[in-house]
Structure 1
Amino acid sequence: MNPTIKDVAKKANVSIATVSRILNKQPGYSVKTKERVLEAIKELGYQPNAVARGLINKRTQTIGVLFPDVSSMFSSDLLKGIEDIAHERGHSVIVCHTTLSGQRTMKYLQLLNEKRVDGIIFTSEAMTEEYYNVLKEMNIPVVLLATQSYRYPLPYVKVDDKHAAYSAVSYLIQKGHHNIGMISGDINDQLAGLPRIEGYKQALLDRGIPFDEKKVVVSRGFRYEDGIAQLPKLLKQAKDLTAVFAASDEIAVGALSAAYELGIRVPEDLSIIGYDNLKIAEMAIPPLTTLAQPLYEMGKAGTEMLLDMLETGQAVESRVMPHSIVERRTVKPLS
């Protein structure tokens, strides 16, 4: 028969309430009492029951995370940051793969509600009225990660996409490039698609370079296949480009592959800069110069904010994270 919390309390000569406070890291006991209880737990081989603890303190020590695409390197970097902080602070993580499907997202929100998660991190997707109403009814802390909402009062952690894209294109201009094309993500994506196009345009205009719509091709997403498909299209409609800004590293690496197939040397014939600084940027041939988002740090920051809200019951301020250029070998300076 498995030992119970009552057995631990009896062996340590303390109350059940004291054992419960020690297990849940609550105050109200001495160091010696804690040592005596932990020793009793060890000797008895007691395994705390998470469900039972949850009934007592109304916490399950779990958080839910919703990702549009769990297979992407982008998501994996965020998730590592999330899990490191969650486990450090005694929480487990339930990951949900929504595939940008509204129906699937609603299904997972219902599941997380049934699992009584303590809080939710909502990533890389627009917050709709339908989602928000469900989250409001759940009455638990929510943090938006790599996304934000102007309409709903939810704290967020993200990079300023327009400013980051502006920095990437400005870098190309500083290297002597003026005939710059762009392979964009979905222009209807208000979170990452449109802001990065706007940053591209603004960088050109601020330096007196006219914007030419023929120098921008729009993809359906931000994947490797989009870069392969769109670079030939871009070069066909915009002659004599010296550089290309890709709206993600996966697009950029796809463009590198397409350039190789076309016999175009990078960076000798064409410079390419990406966006994200994923692991694939280091692995590319040649290694990709890119605009870095601190994805791991963003995951950590979002989780810290969520758990702080959970522990204090107080609102937290949103955070705009810094971005930077990581120079590798795909951008050639022009004299």
Structure 2
Amino acid sequence: MVTIKDIARESGYSVSTVSRVLNHRRDVSPAAKKKIEEVVAQYNFVPNNNAKHLKQSISKTIAILVKGTSNMLFADIVEEMQRMIEKTEYTAVIVYLDELDNEVQQAIQICWERKPLGLLFLGGNPDYFKEEFNKITIPSVLVTNQGAQLGFENLASVATDDIAAAECAIDYLIENGHQEIGIVGGDIDKSHTSAQRYEGCIRSFKKHHLTYDPASSYGRARFSFEDSYRAMGELLKKNQKLTAVFAMSDVMAIGAIRALKDHGCDVPKDISVIGFDGITLADYYNPKLATIKQQYKLLAKRSMEILMYQIEFKRAAVHEVIPFELVAGESVGRL
């Protein structure tokens, strides 16, 4: 089989000159171009473009790992990120994980298979990062969870302060006269987000000198309509004194409200409900949902900007906390 080295030897020119002719470069003399093309034609030489193709096929990919398939906040953030990525030369690969999956193990596999230039983690468990993130060397951003305490030079973070935000939600219920408050949330032993928001709740109870019994007032659920509906029904059976409920996501809040209505309770006349996230649906639900609103557009924008700075300019990882907003809505009443 004739190789580019054979063409170079037969034509009397260097391999680099032959390569420039084969790639239709203009920085070759007419004489050299003519001679090399004659030899190419004589041997019916067809360049092997595998190496060239391989180089071109290494796409500028950003992988987005999304924990939870029912998280509407993450859906809004991903949509914003996609809009931003479409304006660049990068492409996005979106991977959806179960809310209890190990996102770092998944990321390691993606890095091996896809060779992305950067990673965006929507949701994450710090324990998984502590265990294995040192195997990941590319720029990464933890979105909606704080990562400064993890200490990785290539891991930035952009998040809302979940503890302060959940504390604000319980404060709001207490300020409206509620003391028998239930919580619908995730598994605090496995979900970092749930643990952070639960801590915020406990801070508020202690601040207002209220006792809280999780055995009778905590309904554990996945972050979905269906499971929060179930958890709310079980919570009503355990504690009939409840006058208010904090749900750790708007999706959970909507599932809880449906359960309350199906059990004959009026919201907010009988039981008040406040959610967390500030998804678009919260504005159009009936009653309009009281919630802690995260600024999803700003979360997406800053996460993308920070990742781009890391990839293109080798900037150091930074950690930002985005302000939240209490939205009064219509689902919380005063006692």
TM-score, length of structure 1 as denominator length: 0.76
Runs of 4+ in 1 over 4 A off after TM superposition: 4-7, 51-54, 100-105
Gaps of 5+ in 1: 17-50
Rounded Cα–Cα distance in structure 1 between residues aligned with 2:142 and 2:325? 22
**8 A Cα contact 2:221 2:228, kept in partner:** no
Deviation at residue 331 of structure 1 after TM alignment: 0.8
Rounded Cα–Cα distance in structure 1 between residues aligned with 2:318 and 2:103? 29
**8 A Cα contact 2:219 2:232, kept in partner:** no
Deviation at residue 124 of structure 1 after TM alignment: 0.8
Would you say 1:83 and 2:79 are equivalent positions?
A: no
Deviation at residue 289 of structure 1 after TM alignment: 1.0
Rounded Cα–Cα distance in structure 2 between residues aligned with 1:5 and 1:319? 50
Deviation at residue 110 of structure 1 after TM alignment: 2.7
Rounded Cα–Cα distance in structure 2 between residues aligned with 1:106 and 1:184? 25
Amino acid at match of 1:211: Y
107-116 vs 236-245, which moves further: 107-116
Deviation at residue 309 of structure 1 after TM alignment: 0.8
Rounded Cα–Cα distance in structure 2 between residues aligned with 1:63 and 1:78? 15
Paired residues for 1:7-156 under 5 Å: 55=55, 60-100=59-99, 106=105, 109-127=108-126, 128=128, 129=130, 131-135=132-136, 139-149=137-147, 150-153=149-152, 154-156=155-157
Amino acid at match of 1:188: D
Rounded Cα–Cα distance in structure 2 between residues aligned with 1:54 and 1:119? 20
Rounded Cα–Cα distance in structure 1 between residues aligned with 2:216 and 2:238? 7
Rounded Cα–Cα distance in structure 2 between residues aligned with 1:107 and 1:313? 24
Deviation at residue 68 of structure 1 after TM alignment: 2.0
For the pair shown, the structure with the greater C-alpha radius of gyration is 2
Give the structure 1 partner of residue 43 of structure 2: none
Rounded Cα–Cα distance in structure 1 between residues aligned with 2:65 and 2:176? 39
Deviation at residue 152 of structure 1 after TM alignment: 4.2
Rounded Cα–Cα distance in structure 1 between residues aligned with 2:132 and 2:22? 39
Give the structure 2 partner of residue 183 of structure 1: 184
Query: Aligned to 2:198, what secondary structure does the other structure show?
Result: helix
Deviation at residue 161 of structure 1 after TM alignment: 0.9
Paired residues for 1:117-266 under 5 Å: 117-127=116-126, 128=128, 129=130, 131-135=132-136, 139-149=137-147, 150-153=149-152, 154-189=155-190, 191-266=192-267
Deviation at residue 105 of structure 1 after TM alignment: 6.0
Rounded Cα–Cα distance in structure 2 between residues aligned with 1:72 and 1:217? 21
**8 A Cα contact 1:54 1:60, kept in partner:** no
Deviation at residue 174 of structure 1 after TM alignment: 1.8
Deviation at residue 244 of structure 1 after TM alignment: 0.9
Rounded Cα–Cα distance in structure 2 between residues aligned with 1:268 and 1:107? 45
**8 A Cα contact 2:184 2:221, kept in partner:** no
**8 A Cα contact 1:289 1:331, kept in partner:** yes
Give the structure 2 partner of residue 289 of structure 1: 290
Distance 1:190 1:229, change over 3 A: closer
Distance 1:254 1:190, change over 3 A: closer
Rounded Cα–Cα distance in structure 2 between residues aligned with 1:54 and 1:168? 53
Query: Aligned to 1:192, what secondary structure does the other structure show?
Result: helix
Deviation at residue 64 of structure 1 after TM alignment: 0.7
Distance 1:206 1:225, change over 3 A: same
TM-score, length of structure 2 as denominator length: 0.76
Gaps of 5+ in 2: 1-20, 29-50
Amino acid at match of 2:312: E
Deviation at residue 6 of structure 1 after TM alignment: 6.1
Distance 1:71 1:221, change over 3 A: closer
Deviation at residue 108 of structure 1 after TM alignment: 5.3
Deviation at residue 130 of structure 1 after TM alignment: 5.2
